[in-house]
Amino acid sequence: MSRTALRICPLCEATCGLTLTVEGTRVTAARGDRDDVFSRGFVCPKGASFGALDADPDRLRTPLVRRDGELREATWEEAFDAVAAGIRPVVERHGPHAAGIVLGNPNVHTVAGALYPPVLVGALGTRSLFTASTVDQMPKHVSSGLLYGDANAIPVPDLDRTDHLLLIGANPLESNGSLCTAPDFPGRLKALRARGGTLTVIDPRRTRTAKLADRHVAIRPGTDALLLAAMTHVLFEEDLVALGALEPHVEGVGELAGVVRDFTPESVAAACDVDAATTRALARELAAAPTAAVYGRIGSCTVPHGTLASWLVDVLNILTGNLDRPGGALFPQAATDRTPRPAGPGRGFALGRWHSRVSGHPEAKGELPLAALAEEIDTATDRGEPVRVLITIAANPVLSAPDGDRLDKALESLDFMVSVDPYLNETSRHAHVVLPPPPPSRSPHHDFAFNTLAVRNQVRYTRPAVPLEPGRMAETEILARLILAATGSHGADPAAVDAMVIEQTLGKAVREPHSPVHGRDPGDLAARLTGVDGPERRLDMMLRLGPYGDGFGARPDGLTLQRLLAHPHGIDLGPLRPRLPQPLKTRSGKVELLPAPIAADLPRLRHAMTERPAGLVLVGRRHLRSNNSWMHNVPALTGGSNRCTLHLHPDDAARLGVRDGRPVRVKGAGGEVTVPAEVTDTVRPGVVSLPHGWGHDRPGTRLTHAAGDPGVNVNQLLDGSLLDPLSGNAVLNGVPITLTPLTDAKL
Ligand SMILES: Nc1nc2c(c(=O)[nH]1)N[C@H]1C(S)=C(S)[C@@H](COP(=O)(O)OP(=O)(O)OC[C@H]3O[C@@H](n4cnc5c(=O)[nH]c(N)nc54)[C@H](O)[C@@H]3O)O[C@H]1N2
Ligand SMILES: Nc1nc2c(c(=O)[nH]1)N[C@H]1C(S)=C(S)[C@@H](COP(=O)(O)OP(=O)(O)OC[C@H]3O[C@@H](n4cnc5c(=O)[nH]c(N)nc54)[C@H](O)[C@@H]3O)O[C@H]1N2
Ligand code: SF4
Ligand SMILES: [Mo]
């Protein structure tokens, strides 16, 4: 007997609604849910392979505990006993910072990852927090923190209504979009063209997205901040600045004009490899469009001037009046956002409140750079304790962070490590305890993170499509128990974690004058929460306190969990709306266009105007059927064009004597790898491209299919020393490398 069940896809940021076919306890098919209020039936090959990924025989089914040097199957009780025994004595002896936490990408794709890690970090009180954000979007958080006073206030391009989209360092035809949640991003780009709008793509590679564009600018990697600064210069020079309705909310326009004066299109042309006429045209087109949105992603973040580039993306939106207006870039309003407070000055954004122990990197958003994790473990200093125990949750930094070999060794030297991960992979193989979450069909889903980044306000929730098997534990419970074990309350009822959060949140809400529950009794409110378990009650609480919520009766038509459950395909909450000045939390209460840390970093950018290193540089690339480091174990998602090859331009290939399909040795500051060359003119001359997330050839893993075609770890070419200084974000693109063809070698 087969049945269908709805499940939001957790495999990328597009958050498509899926209709799963379930036979017994097995998902046998997945298609797009045509009635989903947001995705309207869209599905990509990864979503369509949901069943295969869910049923991967290599997924761990029981906890593993290291005994006599070997990871062996164990009971949950034994596993959590080992966690408490491994972490507590170290924290008690060496203090909380000796316990490191690494949070990986899938945490933003699970209910558990949204609700529990913040509690863990707070309860443990450690400053040794490392996440995927510092190999990804931290520059955007920092620029938003500085501009708007809120690191999470990230404007999203209004894809469905804009007349002109300037897309920088993003390839949504493969990635399906990022920091811009839009199911069927490709279809939305085609619709933009169809309604007469224009698309410009800035990318050193002629990607599938670039092929769709009216204009493609093949910039030299790592120089976008220069190009954007020159475009800003042109807006001032040609009197194209028009803030419109933003005028009363922005300060610092005059100061900004002063600091970009010397970034002329002519002066950046050689560094960017973009002629001055093109830069001027880009600025004029942006200013002339009825509405326009500038949008930058990975290629603009994971570079030496990532924060400046991220800031300039918003500066261009602001100067052309496109921030916070339909068709421009707007701040979404998610159903689980906190009750909007009245507009007015806020506390501002602090950066560098503490520094990393070894290299003195400033914290950003409470995090230290993932690129510094290895040295924080393996290097002693007199400035505090190294990381001695490590908790990794949904993270594979051995492949995703710079210098995996060094990290590999560092992890091996830890006193204790616990990984919450469904796979025994390059990172979790070092753990003393592995706690496997159930597959996605057994987990509930709500997009706490991505609804705050979506091109349309909407809310959806799916309960587990298949019940948990006996002996398995929900990831929410795993993380709740982990919190208790790591913080000295081992063995307490995991429901206590949710009860504590609910008590604290409601206690705070009733004291806030702007809250719909101001002055009410928190105990009474808690008693009204519905849901089958703690996580559901927390979701109910957030929905009811949120901007569309029922305010626990104050707004009877508002959202509750029960109302959401009655709409299995989701509830549409309308297009993005102008919200300024409410989201601003700067001390001035305005958009602070030229924040001091940004101004202080501009001389470094000015210096880059004159730099044009000879030699090849490396950039990354993503493939539609892949996702970071953990989807190479599913046969349906591997093979074909999804391969770990080095793309290089025919001119470079000819010059260096590299033949298509033959092995080349690639050398970088952190090490070398040998990969097959793929000669293609989709990369510009001077640039080579390797995808990340490969290198599945280490012993002690259980990734049978992935090990058959392991690829190489591109991040081994990095030594972890190249960072964007303001955000601590790793430089992963525009990295200098050298190439040697290996004429005799076999692959
Ligand atoms: N050179 C280079 N390096 C890069 C990038 C690049 O573009 N170039 N991109 C960077 C970016 S943007 C990111 S976000 C990072 C990603 O790097 P990571 O944050 O390390 O994420 P993944 O590689 O996706 O590994 C995710 C881990 O989570 C596990 N997992 C999967 N599902 C679940 C689940 O439901 N629960 C739990 N607990 N675990 C789960 C997987 O088994 C895997 O071990 O990589 C970065 N590294
Ligand atoms: N299929 C698939 N989808 C994914 C992922 C995946 O691994 N696979 N990962 C997910 C994650 S974690 C993220 S963060 C998002 C990322 O989403 P995107 O940002 O869209 O990621 P990419 O496809 O890597 O596109 C980045 C583009 O930047 C270009 N680039 C490199 N250097 C520069 C530069 O200096 N300047 C400019 N202008 N461009 C440059 C690259 O050539 C590449 O085409 O994708 C998510 N979706
Ligand atoms: S686009 Fe992303 S969310 Fe949609 S089906 Fe594909 S992997 Fe899933
Ligand atoms: Mo990412």
Low-confidence ranges of the chain (pLDDT < 70): 744-747
Q: Report which of 115, 24, 57, 448 is spatially closest to residue 5, judged by C-alpha positions.
A: 24
**3-state SS class at 546:** coil
Measured CA to CA, the distance from residue 78 to residue 65 in angstroms comes to: 8
How far the first Cα of the chain sits from its last, in Å, is 47
Residue 37 · residue 460 · CB < 8 Å: yes
Supply the pLDDT for residue 747. Answer: 54
Q: CB–CB of 691/644 below 8 Å?
A: yes
Atom from ligand 3 closest to the CA of residue 627:
7
What are the residues facing 167 on neighbouring strands? Answer: 201, 295
CA 221 to chain centre: 21
Query: How many angstroms does the Cα of residue 14 sit away from the middle of ligand 3?
Result: 6
| 3-class secondary structure per residue, 154-223 | CCEECCCCCCEEEEECCCHHHHCCCCCECCCHHHHHHHHHHCCCEEEEECCECCHHHHCCCEEECCCCCC
Under DSSP, the state recorded for 684 is P
Measured between alpha carbons, how far is 54 from 42 in angstroms, rounded to an integer? 20
The DSSP bridge pattern shows strands 26-32 and 416-420 to be: unpaired
626 lines ligand 3 (CB under 6 A): no
Place of tokens 């962070």: 401
Residue identifier of the C-alpha nearest atom 45 of ligand 1: 400
Give the SS3 label for residue 428: helix
Q: Is 454 in the pocket of ligand 3 (CB under 6 A)?
A: no
Residue 527 Cα to ligand 4 midpoint, Å, equals: 38
Tell me the per-residue pLDDT of 500-511, one tens digit each, with 9 for 90 and over: 999 999 999 999
Q: Which ligand is nearest to the CA of 731?
A: 1
Region of residue 359 (phi > 0: left; psi between -120 and 50: alpha; otherwise: beta): alpha
Secondary structure (H, E, C), 464-502: CCCCCCCCCCCHHHHHHHHHHHHCCCCCCCCHHHHHHHH
Strand 64-67 relative to strand 26-32: parallel, antiparallel, unpaired? unpaired
**Each residue of 305-340: pLDDT tens digit?**
999 999 999 999 999 999 999 999 999 999 999 988
Please name the residues in contact with 339: beta carbons below 8 A apart, sequence gap of 6 or more.
509, 512, 514, 515, 516, 545, 546, 547, 549
Who contacts 237 (Cβ-Cβ below 8 Å, separation ≥6)? Answer: none
Compute the distance from residue 106 Cα to the ligand 4 centre, in Å: 9
Instruction: Establish whether residue 235 lines the binding site of ligand 3, counting it when its CB lies within 6 angstroms of any ligand atom.
Output: no
The pair of structure tokens assigned to 184 is 């069927």
Nearest to 221 by CA among 744, 706, 738, 687: 687
Q: Which of 176, 181, 445, 628 to mutate to test the pocket of ligand 3 (most atoms within 8 A of CB)?
A: 176
Place of tokens 């808690």: 526
What is the C-alpha separation between 390 and 400, in angstroms, rounded?
17
* CA 598/CA 601 separation, integer angstroms: 5
Which H or E run includes 78? helix 76-94
pLDDT computed for residue 611 by the predictor: 84
